[in-house]
Chain A
């Protein structure tokens, strides 16, 4: 987190203050909306890639961290001791790795379709890799054996990742149509 604080985009300026604010507020609120997925499970927007696409990888880590910290401390949603891991899994992996995946696909494909495809792929990977990391951490801490927790986490989150991808793309697509200037932070 400290590293991200240091490396925030050079472009971040006063005018991005409301964007960062409502982005974090939006992601927090959206994360409250659980929708049913397969077999008695639910999923909700993660939002890391959405943030990364709009404000860049490092700022997105800050956004996700604020959301996660408040969820844990004020709402007891997500453990306090697990907070570091959560910030890494969802914020850093989702935000930074997700951003770079997005960037690569975007460069490859170009134009708006590149942005949307990149966002979808990045969002799916953000879920998938985040779940992967969480499984590794659980196994590494001796809580659950890897061969049990890994398939369990990956199966649910591969499906949830599709939802995340679709929602992320829908939101980005509408921003592209109405306020394409908001993408200027991300080159």
Chain B
């Protein structure tokens, strides 16, 4: 398989499998905001479809997370490929 298929597979493994083992502890900024008591001040503007990396309508927590990760990864892949094509086309003046 092509090299980039391999990287994509790694990414999907990260997102769909390894992410389930990821630390639930808050990361840098979140942690600081928690420590300083500011985390409650965040307001929700709108509810995202895959809020907090869970898939709607899926009861099973594991599948919900794994699917969310996979969907996100593929979404990023697709959008980035599309954008890059647009950029290259613009640059080449076609």
B49 — which chain A residues lie within 8 A by C-beta? 74
* Closest chain B CB from A184 CB (angstroms): 14
Query: When chains A and B are docked, how far (Å) is the Cα of A32 from the Cα of B15?
Result: 7
Partner among B4, B12, B52, B80 whose Cβ is within 8 Å of the Cβ of A77: B52
**Contact A152:B25 (CB < 8 A) given known A12-B88, A24-B76, A26-B7:** no
Bound together, the chains give a CA A19 to CA B11 distance in angstroms of 13
Expressed in whole angstroms, the minimum distance between the Cβ of A133 and any Cβ of chain B is 11
Complex interface residues of chain A between 1 and 56 (CB less than 8 A to chain B): 5, 8, 10, 12-14, 16-26, 28-30, 32-36, 40-44
Q: Is the CB of A25 within 8 A of B41?
A: no
B58 contacts the other chain (CB 8 A): no
- CA–CA, A32 and B65, complex, Å: 11
User: Is the Cβ of B22 less than 8 Å from the Cβ of A35?
Assistant: yes
Which B residues, 26 to 83, have Cβ-Cβ distances below 8 Å to chain A? 26-29, 31-32, 35-36, 38, 41-42, 44-53, 68-69, 72-81, 83
What range describes how many residues of A lie at the interface? 35 or more
Residue pair B23, A20 in contact (C-beta under 8 Å): no
In the complex the two chains form, what is the Cα distance from A26 to B45 in whole Å? 28
Known: A29-B73, A75-B50, A76-B44. A22 touches B25 (CB 8 A): no
- The dominant DSSP class at the A interface is helix
Contact of A35 among B23, B69, B76 (CB under 8 A): B23
Q: Which residues of B contact A148 (CB under 8 A)?
A: 36
Interface size class of B (residues with CB under 8 A): 35 or more
Measured CB to CB, the closest approach of chain A to B59, in angstroms, equals 19
Contact status B7-A13, CB under 8 Å: no
Q: Which residues of chain A are near B28, meaning CB under 8 Å?
A: 41, 43, 131, 153, 156-157, 160
Is A12 a contact of B42 with CB atoms below 8 Å? no
B30 to chain A, nearest CB (A): 9
Complex contacts, B29 vs chain A, CB 8 Å: 131, 134, 153
- Interface: A170 (CB within 8 A): no
A77 to B65, CA, bound (A): 14
Q: Is the CB of A75 within 8 A of B18?
A: no
B83 to chain A, nearest CB (A): 7
With a cutoff of 8 Å between Cβ atoms, the chain B residues found around residue A13 in the complex are: 88
Q: What are 24 A-B contacts with C-beta separation under 8 Å? A: A12-B84, A21-B8, A21-B84, A22-B11, A22-B77, A29-B15, A32-B53, A34-B22, A40-B26, A41-B25, A41-B31, A42-B22, A42-B27, A43-B27, A43-B28, A44-B22, A62-B87, A73-B48, A75-B48, A76-B50, A76-B52, A77-B53, A143-B38, A153-B32
